[in-house]
Amino acid sequence: MSRRVPSDRQLLAWLDRNPSRLERHLEMYPDDAARVEVLTEAPSLGAQLRETLRPPSDLLDRLTMGARSDESRRDATELIVELFGTAWRTAAVLFTDEET
Amino acid sequence: MTETHPEADVTALNVAPSLDQAVIELSPSIYRVALSILRDPALAEDAVQETLIRVWTNLERFRGDAPFRVWVLRIAHNVSVSMGRKRRDQAVDPHDLSEVKASGAGAERTAEGRAMVGELWEALDQLDPLSRAIVVLREVELFAYEDIASALDIPLATVKTRLFRARRSLATKLETWR
């Protein structure tokens, strides 16, 4: 049995005004998700989100200090500081590379 | 068939050269997920610390049925949602956070960069926390849809619908930066 294939306009109308309808449709016809994917592509979104949510360059130092000053959970935080001490120094170099 | 993000490095999702190193290298990802949910850099840092502690103390529970990164960011999401609930219970006015958003890495940005970030934050504020997490996991962390569904424990169709709506919403803001 053939099905009536919704137009691009119909898919976007569901997306904007009736998302639960689109969700039900995608559950039945998952291949149509690829069409909506193309229709909603935003090529620069990832880069701009990455910039918007960029961690501070001294994140690791701040985490280390935060863990050391957390008196309420001394055992757990000391464990973290000890175990990750070396790794954090290595990672700091990696993060610096990532940010530049 | 698994739908991977076109830019995703599949090996990076599954291979942990050394566990502590892998966890630490995931810290920026944990921070981004936490910040997207909590919208507060200071709280996001707390969420990273709490996530690292939980990852380490629950390591024996990691069964390897999902990539390590997915497991870690699932914990990060749960920690962030929990912290967000606590903050809400303490009745903090979300509008008080508008200036906090500009902190974190804000001081390291150019004026134009700060303006773009401010605009995008406004657009992100229009989304619910779940949609923000989805869009970050897909567009920034390059997760496959199935991994997002696994990390957030929601149906695949929900992931897709929320992501597509979030893209439509955010793209409107991004138009002004082209």
DSSP string, B89-145: HTT--GGGGTTGGG-GGGGGS-HHHHHHHHHHHHHHHTS-HHHHHHHHHHHTS---H
- Which of the residue ranges A71-80, A87-96, B33-42 would you say has the lowest mean pLDDT? A87-96
Instruction: List CB contacts (< 8 A) between A54 and chain B.
Output: 104-105, 108
Q: Do B164 and A15 lie within an 8 Å CB cutoff?
A: yes
Looking at the complex, report in whole angstroms how far the Cα of residue B146 sits from the nearest Cα belonging to chain A: 13
Give CA–CA dist B36/B134, Å, rounded.
10
Residue B18: pLDDT band by 50, 70, 90 thresholds? Answer: low
Q: Which residue has the higher pLDDT, B85 or A94?
A: B85
Residue A74: pLDDT band by 50, 70, 90 thresholds? Answer: low
CA-angle at B132, arms to A70 and A87, nearest 5°: 40
Residue type present at position A80: I
Give CA–CA dist A94/A91, Å, rounded.
5
pLDDT at position B56:
80
Q: Which of A50, A89, A31 is nearest to B160 (CA)?
A: A31
pLDDT at position B118:
83
Q: Which residue has the higher pLDDT, B98 or B45?
A: B45
The pLDDT tens digits for A9-42 are 999 999 999 999 999 999 999 899 999 999 999 8
Touching B: A residues 56-85, CB under 8 Å: 56-57, 59-60, 62-63, 66-67, 70, 73, 76-77, 79-80, 83-84
Q: Do A53 and B165 lie within an 8 Å CB cutoff?
A: no
Candidates A38, A52, A97: best to mutate against B (most CBs of B within 10 A) is A52
Looking at the complex, report in whole angstroms how far the Cα of residue A2 sits from the nearest Cα belonging to chain B: 22
Give CA–CA dist B169/B126, Å, rounded.
8
Q: Do residues B130 and B154 touch, judged by C-beta distance below 8 A? A: yes
Dump the DSSP string for B21-76: HHHHHTHHHHHHHHHHHH--HHHHHHHHHHHHHHHHHTGGG--SSS-HHHHHHHHH
The distance in angstroms from the start CA to the end CA of chain B is 35
Question: Is a pLDDT exceeding 60 seen at residue A81?
Answer: yes
**Is ipTM strictly over 0.90?**
no
